[in-house]
Homo-oligomer: A and B are copies of this chain.
């Protein structure tokens, strides 16, 4: 493999497959436009737990169990697990996957983590480090509001630019076993910082990173936007989408007709009061598992660029006046 300077991408010679997936969502997602596509829609946002954090862990566990059972395998068959979430010190993942006893790599890439996990799974399988890897990510509205804004009991008001954290978890078995969807390549994202400081307008903070990764993907793989049936970002929402389209247009790349955003698809903005759209590590993951993968599986879409996007910040960083940089990872999914 030759590595041209500035190339951020890998094209796999033996592309790994997404063998199976599992997804679970909460009450609000169960009333949204994608509801019928999710494996489990649970009206109890606590998922049988006492706290939001434990609820999120329970979702991860159930998403993994679904993915494992659909692939007809047990945890012992999985070589490595790559997982993460939005909470401080990634506790939703630590507590969620502990019971499986799979050797694990904990990740943090904000809402881009599902892309990061899929990239590392695919890289590990393609390298021959194991024939079966597990990627899992999650987010929860209750735990995320508490982590980044205010606990739900405070009835915090939400600006129009804000996004609604998706309560959901998606898990994916990536392996050598043939399926109808393969990961043919990945584009690992750089941190992109336009100096924005409004943590309540994450779409604007993340859009430049998405533009950078999409631009880089097309350049590295010598493709044009027309080589993809869809380019689907994670959670830019309504504001981020406009910025993304504008930024790419400046580079002569017109993605208007083929762009979709998981954060815009998962809720009905008009009736669900989700302001700028959905967000969270779980948003892109459950939309991929429930809605995008089946379309590629059936061959409706032959090649999709999946680009989960993350806003890199914490309550401490923005209270201290730091900007909110973005990062986005690109995963090339192909029907086969």
Binding site for B on A (CB under 8 A): 1, 3, 5-6, 8, 10, 50-51, 53-54, 76-77, 79-80, 84, 86-91, 94-95, 97-98, 101-110, 116, 119-120, 123-124, 126-131, 146-147, 188-191, 193, 312-317, 320, 322, 325, 327
Contacts and interface: CB of A to CB of B under 8 A. Distances in A.
5 contacts: A5-B77, A6-B76, A103-B190, A127-B128, A146-B316
Contacts of A120: 105, 120
Contact of A129 (B76, B123, B327): B123
A94 B209 CA distance: 13
Contacts of A130: 3
B104 A314 contact: no
B51 A101 contact: no
B98 A3 contact: no
A327 B98 CA distance: 10
B94 A191 contact: yes
Contact of A314 (B88, B98, B124, B189): B88
A89 B86 contact: yes
Contacts of A106: 107-109, 116, 312, 327
Given A91-B314, A108-B90, A193-B98, A103 B8 contact: yes
Contacts of A105: 107, 109, 116, 119-120, 188
B190 A1 contact: no
Nearest to A90: B108
A325 B129 contact: no
B1 A128 contact: yes
Contacts of A316: 53, 87-88, 91, 146-147
B193 A53 contact: no
Nearest to A124: B123
Contacts of A147: 88, 316
A314 B53 CA distance: 11
Contacts of A317: 53, 89, 91, 94-95
B53 A103 contact: no
Given A108-B108, A124-B123, A98 B325 contact: yes
B107 A107 contact: yes
A131 B2 CA distance: 9
Contacts of A116: 105-106
A194 to B, nearest CB: 12
Nearest to A117: B105
A314 B191 contact: no
A316 B76 CA distance: 30
B188 A131 contact: no
A327 B104 contact: yes
10 closest A-B pairs by beta carbon, nearest first, are A127-B127, A88-B88, A103-B188, A89-B314, A94-B312, A8-B103, A106-B108, A91-B317, A98-B191, A88-B314
